[in-house]
Structures are given as C-alpha cells and as structure tokens.
Structure 1
Amino acid sequence: MLSFTNPLKNNPQATLRLGLGLLLLGAVPVAQAQVRLPRLVSNGMVLQREAPVRIWGWAKPGEAVSVAFQNKTYRATTGLDGQWRVMLPAMQAGGPYDLTIKASNELTVKDILVGDVWLCSGQSNMETPMSRVRDKYPEVIAKANNPRIRQFEVPLTYAFSGPKADLTGGSWVPTTPQNVLKFSAVGYFFALDLQAKYQVPIGIIKDAVGGSPAEAWLSADALKQ
C-alpha cells in the first residue's frame, strides 16, 4: 500500500501540523521556560508554497513570542497550555531563508526552502530505502547532489497511550549520494519527477512502516466510527 499525500496544497486551513499520527498540537508537554520548537520545524525544512503555513512551539505561559520571516514579523502570546503559534501567509517557491523566533531566548531556523511538501506513507514498499536498490540504480545515486530535494524521516516509535506532542527524532536532510541511501526509493523517484515538472523545491516526509495495518494509523476515535 502506497500513499502520497500533499495535505497543504490549495488548502487555506493547511499547516505544517501534518497528520503523522505521532505529532499532534493538542497534546502538550510540560511548559518550558525557554521557547523551543518541534522536530519538524528545524534547519533545512521545506514549507508548502501557495498556502498558509503554521509555525508553532512551546514557551512559558503568557510569554510574548515574535517570529521573523522574509522581512515580516508575526507575534503571538503563549497560552496557559504552554503553546504558541503563528500563521505565515501563502508564499511563492524560493529560498533559502532564515526564520528567527524571539522570546526569553532566541532561536534561528536556517536554510529554509519554500516548495511542495509531500507525506510519503505506507508499508514496506514505501519504507524501502535507496540503499536496497543501489545495484539497480548506481548512476542515479552517484548523481544525487540536489539540495532542493530533502527528506524528513519520522522515527519508528509506538504510542499506545495517545498522540504525542513531538517526535523523538528526525531532521531535514538534503540529497547527496550518501544521504539518499536512506531516502524512500519510491519517494525519491517521485520527488525527482515532481521537481522536473514544477521546478520548485520538494520536501518528502517519510512515515512508513513495513507490514503495518491501516488501523495502526488511525486514532481511537476514528476506529470507533
């Protein structure tokens, strides 16, 4: 079973809060004294073009937070739950850019691209990395030097008590001959075709588990319906 999903494209309510199953804004960790960000909002990330994008994080309740991006500043106040969030307006493809968050401390997310973001989920056919097909595609791997195609791999964890506020790991990785060996093979060839057609940065989020049943990707409420 393969699934390519772009939940952000042409959706005015779309945000970076992707339905990864492991990541949910409604689940809140203990509030931190300093502003911090989820794993997905990190160096090298790809933001969806032509759709509003939500940037979020955590800080001390009541703390004022400012987010500076593309010469504009967006402001929020952290709620009692320890969360803050701002909406970036729809943007055209481009980059790289930096994004700076200021509160009691300051964080800068670097090397951000704006393009198309795709969630690549499924079972072993989507999970299979390029390293498994290196003998069949040696030239493709040798030529894989493209910083405008990036992958974020969701780490394999199990959550039996409900959605988690953040992932346990993961980072945005640009395409190099070494890095691409960990990319989803199906996802990478899909990204190559998309970039050739649209000429924009492509971000793929690999969230696939071999042999996983469809029920494992659904919430408890969805299973009850």
Structure 2
Amino acid sequence: MKMFKKITYLIVLITNISFANITLPSVFSDHMVLQQNDDVKFWGWANPNEEVVIVPSWSDKNYKVKANNQAYWEIKISTPKAGGPFNIKITGYNEIVLNDVLIGEVWLCSGQSNMEMSAAWGIKNGVEEIKNANYSNIRFFNISKTSATSPQNDLKGNWQVCTSEVMKNSSAVAYFFGRRLQEDLKDVPIGLMVAAWGGTPAEIWMPENVIKENEILNNAANKLQPVEWGPTEPARAYNSMIHPFVGYNIAGALWYQGEANVGAVNYDKTLEALINSWRKKWEKDFPFYYVQIAPYNYGKDHFGGVEIRDAQRKVLENVSKAGMVVISDVSPTDDIHPKDKKPVGERLANLALVKHYKTYFDIVNGPLFNGITINNKSITVHFDNDEGLYFSDKKIALFEIAGENKIFHLAKVKLKNNIITLSSKEVKSPKYVRFAWGNTSISNLFNKANLPASSFTSE
C-alpha cells in the first residue's frame, strides 16, 4: 500500500511538473525584433498562479507576473532605443532564454500573392538582389499558411536573420521596404512579419463579426465563390495567421491585395473595415500603407480591375494615417504578378519615412484627384501633389468627360501651370470626369517626382 502511494505521488508530481513549464507563443523566439521606445507586450502560459520573471539584458529591472487560473499571463516591458543584440531571460519553474534579440521597427506585411511573392518566384534583377541580401539587422517572421474557423492562440512561424537564402524565400516587397527604411533610419533593426496568401480575398483577413454585423460586407462575402488555392470564407486567415500575434507591438502595417476582389462593388468599405478592425484589435491607430493593384487584363466588357483601383483611392478619403502607392508605371498589363518589386517596396517605405518617421522630405505620391470645377462647357480637374504635372505621352488620351447621362467621351486636354482643363464637342454640359478608366489603362500623367496619377472617376 505504501509503495502504491509513493508511485501515485510520483505520477502526480511528474504530471504537475510537465504542466508547470512556461511556454511562449512562436512569435517570441531567438532573432526577433521588438518595437523600440515602447511598452511591448509579452505573454504566454504557465501553471496557474505560477510567478513568471522576465529579465531583459538592456535593463536592470525584473518584470514579474503571475499566471491566472486559465494558465495565461501577460505583461508589458519597456524597450530602449534601437540596438542590440540583447537576450531575455524568462524564468518560472523552468527557464527560457531568448538570444540575439534586436530593438528596432516592426512592420506587419500582409495581403495576397504580390505581397507573398519572393525572389524565388522570379523578380527583376533577382539573381543580383539575392546575392547581396545579407542584412543581419533585418529579420523576417514568415507565417505559414493555415486557416481556422475560430481565433487561435498560436501560429506556425519563426524569426530569421535576413541572409541571401532567407530573402530568396521571403516577401520581396517587404524586403525592399525594410532595406529602404534602413537607408534613412541609419541601420535601425527592421522586423518584417509576413502573413500573406496568394489568391485570397480581403474578407478572410479580418474578424468574422466585423463582416457578419455589416450588411454591405456580409453581402459581398456571400458572393465569394470557393477556389482551390485558398479559403474564401470570412476570417479564416485572420483567425490563424493574424489573431495569434495581435498585441505584438508593431510600428505599422503594409497591405498588397485586391486582385482577388475584382468584381466587388464596395471594396473600399471592405478595406476600411479591415484597417479599422486591426487597429481596434491592437488598440493602436498605427499607419496603414497599401499598394494600389496594377493594371491587368481581367477580361473585356467590365471595369472590375479599375473599380478596385478607384475603391482603394477612396479609402484615403475616409481613413486616417493611410497611404497608397500607385505602380502602374512599373507593371505590365499582361502579368498579374509584376516582377519589378523594388520600386513597390521603396515607395511604401518612402511613405513611412515621410508620414511616420518624418526623416524624408521629397514628394512620395503621384497626382491624386481632389475634385472638379465646372466652367460652362469645360471642366477643370484639381489634383493634390500637382507640382510639375506632365504627360509622358501626349498622344494617349485617357481623360473622358460626360454630361448628366453619364455617357463618356474622350476629352480634349489643356495643361497649363499644373492646371488641367477638359472639353469635348460631344459633351455640351459636362458634369463628370474619369481618367485611365480601364482595367489595362496605364496612367500617363506624372508630377515632378515622376510618380503616376491614380485612375479615378468623379461619378
């Protein structure tokens, strides 16, 4: 009987010990980057009421917290200015040491295939870029594709130092973004958290309740048809690829998506909802910069592609701290995966450097439609970022005007002193204007920064 009691005691002891170990979500690991000059959130699991002590090597302070009755704990830790490498010791009944931790700027990079696209897919100057891609102060956290019907508490991913091999198989847009940031931020460490899945609609990247509780979003989601390359149901990627690291401090988010939503009539509302939902989850109004999809032949007899581009433009009017880059000048119309990813990443970075970091002062946006003035038989079009307006090819007519009937006709264009005036013999009383209004229409209007104007309609 005594022997039985001893065996039972040992079994209970071993069981308790096995459940007592502190565990961390995969986002906390060697080589990670933490947001500088911030109170960053750490969390994990331990035995209920177990004390967890965190000691970062950049500080003399010990951070202590106890796991609750759900075996969960979280705590905020103050980070210094950019630097490293550091280590972080986390102790309870067991001990975890995170090594080679950098303090810098962390960005979430998400979307579909053009964000996912790596140098291994075949990008412009890919061989040379791969060879030169050894940057120890740039780190990738590449998140594996998974889906879930409910929010998850961990995910598949790991932090990696940017070497030629890592860069080769990571987001090219994110890489060029990070590299450009470092040029102006003087080698501040950059963390790039990449959650992307080719061919996926925006609806799978936001919480399900955001869609279900909004009639417009819900109707759009119900029209999505199943595809063989990924989920189309609301929240499936959000649950497994975003939610598990909500709260990991980030500087901002990058987004390159929209092709999978071609045909949607309210994509601006969808994208606005996604941005607002992420900010709400993070409890932070972080900057959100995105890429306008490129001109591409999505088929004849519809304007599905350019309608998405215009919807993306409209988001700028309704969302604070948002920015959009136009890439029609570096994208062919016969490839839905443009190979020249360097200017895409650099334009996103320039937005961040001007708007968020305020270390760069050049013009970083092309001409952006700002309204019209009707002058009897002509219309004057107003643009933001209109310094040095010029047409790259005056023979290509991309401006159209229409009257009350909304039947558009090519317009005669007069450009003088950065002011564009439009008229047409077919339109006696003009009321509406549109520009580059076609799925494959490539903008020929630029400003002095040699950046193209976005397509638009004033309807």
Shorter chain as denominator, the TM-score bin is 0.7 to 0.9
Whether 1:152 aligns to 2:144 is no
TM alignment of 1:1-225, pairs within 5 A: 32-69=19-56, 70=58, 71-133=60-122, 136-160=125-149, 162-167=150-155, 169-199=156-186, 200-223=188-211, 224-225=213-214
1:31-87 deviations in whole A, cap 9, x for unaligned? 942101000000100001122101111000010110001232100000011111121
Question: Unaligned 5+ residue runs, structure 2?
Answer: 1-17, 215-459
Contact 1:51 1:89 (8 Å CA) reproduced: yes
SS for the counterpart of 2:62 is: strand
CA offset at residue 206 of structure 1?
A: 0.6
Q: Which has the higher helix share?
A: 2
Q: Which has the higher strand share?
A: 1
Contact 1:32 1:58 (8 Å CA) reproduced: no
2:162 partner amino acid: T
Contact 1:150 1:203 (8 Å CA) reproduced: yes
Find the aligned partners of 1:38 and 1:120 in 2 and give their Cα distance: 19
Find the aligned partners of 1:191 and 1:75 in 2 and give their Cα distance: 34
Question: Unaligned 5+ residue runs, structure 1?
Answer: 1-30
Structure 1 match to 2:225: none
Structure 1 match to 2:295: none
How many residues are paired up? 193
Find the aligned partners of 1:219 and 1:179 in 2 and give their Cα distance: 30
Q: State which structure, 1 or 2, has the greater radius of gyration over its C-alpha atoms.
A: 2
2:72 partner amino acid: Q
1:76-109 deviations in whole A, cap 9, x for unaligned? 0000111111211142000000000000000001
CA offset at residue 133 of structure 1?
A: 2.7
TM-score under structure 2 normalisation?
Answer: 0.41
SS for the counterpart of 2:38 is: coil
Find the aligned partners of 1:186 and 1:173 in 2 and give their Cα distance: 17
SS for the counterpart of 1:99 is: strand
Contact 2:79 2:103 (8 Å CA) reproduced: no
TM-score under structure 1 normalisation?
Answer: 0.82
Structure 1 match to 2:351: none
CA offset at residue 179 of structure 1?
A: 1.4
Contact 1:43 1:172 (8 Å CA) reproduced: yes
Contact 1:42 1:172 (8 Å CA) reproduced: yes
CA offset at residue 176 of structure 1?
A: 1.1
Find the aligned partners of 1:176 and 1:122 in 2 and give their Cα distance: 23
In structure 2, relative to structure 1, the CA distance for the partners of 1:93 and 1:158 (3 Å cut) is same
2:30 partner amino acid: N
Find the aligned partners of 1:192 and 1:110 in 2 and give their Cα distance: 23
Find the aligned partners of 1:76 and 1:93 in 2 and give their Cα distance: 26
CA offset at residue 180 of structure 1?
A: 1.1
Find the aligned partners of 1:216 and 1:86 in 2 and give their Cα distance: 30
CA offset at residue 134 of structure 1?
A: 5.3
Q: CA RMSD in A?
A: 1.4
1:181-202 deviations in whole A, cap 9, x for unaligned? 1110111001110111112000
